[in-house]
Each structure stands twice: as C-alpha cells, then as structure tokens.
Structure 1
C-alpha cells in the first residue's frame, strides 16, 4: 500500500473525529494565525494543500472576501465531503475542493498564496513538495506551513511522549523501520521548512501552543 493510500484510508475512517478536532475552539485560533501569515488581500487566490475538512476556509475567506478564490486539495474524499458541506451550508460559492495529491497538485499558477497545515510530515520528500508549492506562487506571493513539534520547555517530557503516540496513530504514511516515530516526523518537517526558508524572503517564524506548534512563512 502506498503512503497516499495509507493516509487516505486512515483519515477516511476517522473523518468525523478528525473534523471535531480540527475545528475545536483552541485549534481555530491556530488556524487563524496560519491564514494571517499569508498576508492575503480581497480578491486573492489561495491554494490549501491537504485541506482536510475545510477548517481553515473561514479564516482564509475572511481575508480574500467573496471575490477571492479558495482552492482546497486533499486525497481523502470523506474529508472533502465535509469541507464541501461546511462551505455550502454557509452559502460560500468561492471555495472549491478537489481530490488530489499535494505532492502533485492538480492546479496551475500563478496563485497568490499556498497554505499547508499539519501535512509536511506526511511526505517522503517534503523539500521537493515545498519547492513545487513555491513555484506555484506569483512573485510576491507567500507560502506558509504550520506543524506540530516537540516542546523543549521544562516539564514537557510527559507531553512529548503523548505527542509521539499521537504521531504514531495520526501519520500512518511515513513510519520508518528502526527510526523513532518522532525523529522521522521532525526530520521531514525540518526538510520542508528548510526548503521554504531557502526559496523565500521576508521569512517569519513563530511558536505557540506551549511550544508545540511552529508556523513558518515566506515571500516568493
């Protein structure tokens, strides 16, 4: 079974639970910060890679307005079904979703921004993936990636263990034999962040959520 098929099967099976977690009150504040990092303007076009159930769409739409365009891409149809229901229920006609792989997005540029939240760790070659996202943007556009990470704060060890368990359960596509699950995840996230930092200017990096979240963005 391919990485894509594993991810599709896992998130398709747990779509209802994932949707509740993705739109929980605290998580919404994280998503709003990720959307804000794109510096979008009314009328802009933004592509979200691995959009899941569309939990980021309300915050993206706050910035692009009714005349902008939001394109969500995900490999898991049950997640996309929920994303479509979320936007249709609000009467939003400028958010469109398509089944596709974020490593080979079925869209053409240039676009104004690309967003990826909690997806870098799923890719075998995240650096190449991020470089493709940068290439999709127009000059002056922004790319932002939001990811979980271990915290180095005091007394964080017990939570770091829980974090490793969460990664093991929630990222079935990238487990590497004889490599700790957290190390594999962090290696991939670091590779994606490095690629983004190398290809962009006006870079911004912030941590929040007790140090367990890192948000990096850069201008093409």
Structure 2
C-alpha cells in the first residue's frame, strides 16, 4: 500500500469478504437448496402485498423470491432486487428475467429515495451484514410509514447452526432479545417472531 492509498475500513473489508464468499458460490447456489421453494412461497404469501405495491428483495441473491414477489404485486407493481455481489445478480437475471429491477448495491446504501417502498423481504440477509444496525436504518429510510419488513430463512436458527457445525450462543443477533432492540432503534416495530426447525420468520412494521 502506497502512502497515498487510504487504509480499507473494517466495514469495507467485511463487505469485500462477503462479496467474495458469495461470488464463488453463485452459480451453484440454488442447486444446494432445491427444497426451499415452498417455504419461500409460504413466507411471501403472508406478506400481505397488494397489486401495485412496491417491494424490495434485500440481498436478493439468485432471485428466488423475485417471481413470487412479482406475482403478489402484479404487473403494475414494482419489484426491486438488491445485492452486493455481481455474480449473484447475474444468476438472478439469467434465471428470472423480467421479474424485477436488479440493483448492484449495498443494502446499507440504497440508491432509492426516502419512503419509496411498501414492503421489504430479506431472506438470509441479517446474519451476513457488516453493520446490521446501519442496514436496518437504511431499510427504514426507504420504507413508507406502515411498510413491512420480513426477515426470513427457510430453516430455523438451531437447524442452521447444526448445518454449519456450531452451537447457538446468547449473542446470536437473530435471537429475539437481541433483534427486538435493534429493530426498535432503527425505526421498526417487531410484530411477530417465529423460530422453528423449518422456518425463521420475523415481521416488523415501519413506525
């Protein structure tokens, strides 16, 4: 590094690590989890989306949720998919062309005006964020009062930990006692919390 090159911030370094992790796995990502489709469909069916709504798939990855979101808001609705990894967006565009507008963007820094969205859907996002509080504040900024936020994973916390060969700890960000104050501070109201073997589903409303 030359004297004129600024040091990389911890945030930027972590974002680069996340991008590298998913870039290497993008092409085969959906094949690793072929049975998750019905759980995505059930989670999105419960969003309460209406025809004409604007919805963001935050951390959209390969775009598995995009066709479901498009069906929920209809042709007159607006579907956006944002992800920080170009390779993931390439897969989303190839697999689900025309279902939504794809944004290469950090979800903590979205190229959207204030109070734009009626709903945000985020599958597997919260545990892959360099700064979760910052991202939740940004999602609140681009959401209208009364908008909904859904944090989803097709398996629960315990099952996911077992899949990765680790144990749950009290400091797990996704645990309700840790997540509730984080959401509140960011401008969200925690409305429901579900963490079972086959689903992690949190719904919050924009205050």
Report TM bin, short chain. 0.7 to 0.9
Aligned pair 1:17/2:23, yes or no? Answer: no
Structure 2 equivalent of residue 70 of structure 1: 79
Q: Structure 2, unaligned stretches of length 5 or more? A: 1-11
Relative contact order: is structure 1 or structure 2 higher (C-alpha 8 Å, sep ≥ 6)?
1
TM-fit CA distance, 1:218: 1.8
Distance 1:21 1:108 in 2: 35
Q: Quick one: structure 1 residues 181 and 15, their matched pair in 2 at CA, closer, same or farther if it must change by over 3 Å?
A: farther
Residue 34 of structure 1 aligns to a residue whose secondary structure is helix
Cα distance in structure 1, aligned partners of 2:200 and 2:149: 14
Indicate yes or no: 2:62 matched with 1:53: yes
* Partners of 2:181 and 2:37 in 1: CA distance: 26
CA RMSD of aligned residues (A): 2.6
Extract unaligned runs of 5+ from structure 1.
152-158, 166-179
The alignment partner of 1:128 has SS state of helix
1:150 aligns with 2:135: no
Q: What secondary structure, in the 3-state scheme, does the structure 2 residue paired with 1:98 have?
A: strand
After superposition, the C-alpha distances for 1:185-210 in whole angstroms (9 at most, x for unaligned) are x62324445433564447122334x2
**Pairing of 1:121-160 with structure 2 (within 5 A):** 121-147=127-153, 149-151=156-158
Structure 1 residues 205 and 150, CA gap change in structure 2 (3 angstroms): closer
Cα–Cα, structure 1 residues 219 and 53, in superposed 2: closer, same or farther, change >3 Å?
same
Matches within 5 A, 1:156-171: 162-165=162-165
Query: What is the match of residue 199 of structure 2?
Result: 213
Per-residue Cα deviation, 1:84-131 (whole angstroms, up to 9, x for no partner): 11222xxx3x50101111121222232111111101111233123213
Aligned-pair distance for 1:213?
Answer: 2.8
Please identify which structure carries the higher helix content: 1
For residue 44 of structure 1, the aligned residue among 53, 68, 80 is 53
